[in-house]
């Protein structure tokens, strides 16, 4: 029997565009097209990947996450799991306060011809197509898991882009001990590092690692719970005048965080001296090569996060 993540996922066909839509497509840029299909291909949002090259090795449904007629980030979504495999985005130095949590859904997962813009959950009962196609707010209510962002609001400058991260297609069930503890510290550490030492575009991909055998679920097989979360960044141009503790942090760096205090310590060891509420939710920093080794082991296939591991002739810059 194949593991769940090895099963090829069904992708909705968008059908033929009407002539009117084709004409309108000429009038709008890719980021604000009124008729483009935002589910099923990364083509309209390749700008969120280093060298326009999405990660290889994982099967799922691509989503170009559009909010207020502009692409904000990209997500590889698993329909059977009703949760994302990863989200990819361009880091920008954050500004302003964290937006309120106004949770959204992806209409084109429910209806291929639907609006490409993510929409706020309406009050009252939901359309059954929405419920069947993706996670909804009821899945998280009265559970022991928080809504864990893959693409965090913290890593963006624009208020609208920060607001766009509050979509359930960008979150996974994450224990509070991770979300409010070591994983949050990792997000702040990445923010500080990239804000101070990355000199150009910084590409970030954050994803999950499923359980090897016994999958965990919310609400009777509604939403799959990851065993680990991982994140990696690629900063092609960076300041060579780095402090000693960051000499190995460029051009790439990565980390894996525990989401289950009962998991083995093979991938991420446990620091038994930390506060009880955060114990067992440690994050281990590592090289991109080491991360990809663990991904290969768990997914039983080669997983490549960045094109040529974020190498090139224009990587560094003296300042």
Predicted confidence pLDDT, tens digits, the chain (319 residues) = 444 443 444 333 333 333 433 433 433 444 444 445 699 999 999 999 999 999 999 999 999 999 999 999 999 999 999 999 999 999 999 988 888 889 999 999 999 899 999 999 999 899 999 999 999 999 999 999 999 999 999 999 999 999 999 999 999 999 999 999 999 999 999 999 999 999 999 999 999 999 999 899 998 899 999 999 999 999 999 999 999 999 999 999 999 999 999 999 999 999 999 999 999 999 999 999 999 999 999 999 999 999 999 985 454 444 4
Please report, for residues 60, 197, 238, 242, the alpha-carbon distance to residue 318 in angstroms, rounded to integers and kept in the order given.
40, 11, 8, 11
- Kindly report, residue by residue over 172-182, the tens digit of the pLDDT: 999 999 999 99
- The dihedral built from the CA positions of residue 242, 182, 95 and 63, taken in this order, carries a sign that is positive
Beta strands 283-286 and 171-174, pairing class: unpaired
What is the token pair recorded at 174? 């994450």
What is the CA 200 to chain-centroid distance, rounded?
21
Q: How many CB atoms lie within 10 A of CB 241?
A: 8
Q: What is the pLDDT at residue 96? A: 84
Beta-bridged to residue 285, according to DSSP, are 255
Q: How many helices (H) and strands (E) does the chain have?
A: 8, 15
Is the torsion defined by CA of 40, 109, 117, 220 positive or negative? negative
112 secondary structure, DSSP code: T
What is residue 262's predicted lDDT score, i.e. its pLDDT? 96
Question: Which string of b and e fits 23-52 if b means at least 16 CB within 10 Å?
Answer: eeeeeeeeeebebbbbbbbbebbbebbbee
- Residues 133 and 12 sit within 8 Å (Cβ to Cβ): no
Query: Half-sphere exposure of residue 161, counting CA atoms within 13 Å on the CB side?
Result: 22
Q: 309, 93, 59, 85: which is closest to 197 by C-alpha?
A: 93
DSSP state of 122: P
Which has the closest alpha carbon to 81: 254, 196, 215? 215
CB atoms within 10 A of CB 11: 16
Quote the pLDDT of residue 37: 67
What's the CA gap between 112 and 266, in Å, rounded? 42
Report the DSSP pairing between strands 238-239 and 316-317.
parallel
* Rg of the Cα atoms in the chain: 19
For the record, the structure tokens of 316 come out as 């560094």
- Domains annotated for the chain, with CATH where assigned, are 88-104+139-310 (3.40.570.10)
Residues facing residue 56 across a β-bridge: 304
Tell whether pTM > 0.85: yes
- Contact between 257 and 178 under an 8 Å Cβ cutoff? The reply is yes
């Amino acid at each position: 029997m194949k593991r769940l993540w090895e099963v090829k996922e069904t992708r909705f066909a968008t059908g033929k565009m009407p002539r009117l839509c084709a004409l309108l497509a000429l009038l709008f840029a890719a980021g604000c097209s009124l008729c483009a299909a935002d589910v099923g291909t990364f083509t309209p949002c390749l700008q969120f990947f280093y060298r326009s090259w999405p990660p290889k090795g994982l099967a799922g449904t691509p989503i170009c996450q559009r909010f207020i007629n502009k692409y904000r980030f990209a997500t590889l979504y698993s329909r059977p799991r009703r949760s994302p495999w990863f989200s990819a985005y361009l880091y920008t130095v954050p500004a302003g306060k964290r937006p309120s949590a106004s949770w959204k859904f992806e209409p084109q997962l429910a209806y291929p011809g639907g609006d490409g813009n993510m929409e706020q959950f309406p009050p009252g009962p939901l359309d059954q197509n929405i419920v069947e196609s993706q996670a909804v707010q009821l899945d998280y209510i009265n559970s022991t898991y928080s809504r864990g962002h893959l693409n965090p609001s913290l890593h963006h400058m624009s208020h609208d882009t920060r607001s766009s991260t509050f979509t359930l297609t960008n979150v996974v069930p994450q224990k509070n001990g991770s979300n409010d503890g070591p994983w949050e510290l990792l997000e702040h550490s990445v923010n500080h590092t990239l804000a101070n030492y990355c000199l150009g575009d910084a590409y970030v991909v954050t994803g999950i690692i499923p359980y090897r055998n016994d999958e965990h679920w919310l609400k009777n097989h509604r939403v799959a719970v990851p065993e680990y979360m991982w994140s990696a960044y690629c900063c092609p141009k960076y300041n060579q005048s780095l402090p000693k503790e960051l000499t190995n942090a460029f051009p790439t760096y990565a980390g894996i965080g525990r989401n289950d205090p009962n998991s083995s310590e093979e991938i991420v060891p446990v620091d038994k001296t930390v506060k009880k509420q955060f114990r067992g939710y440690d994050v281990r920093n590592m090289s991109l090569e080491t991360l990809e080794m663990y991904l290969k082991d768990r997914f039983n296939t080669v997983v490549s996060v960045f094109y040529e591991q974020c190498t090139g002739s224009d990587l560094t810059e003296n300042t």
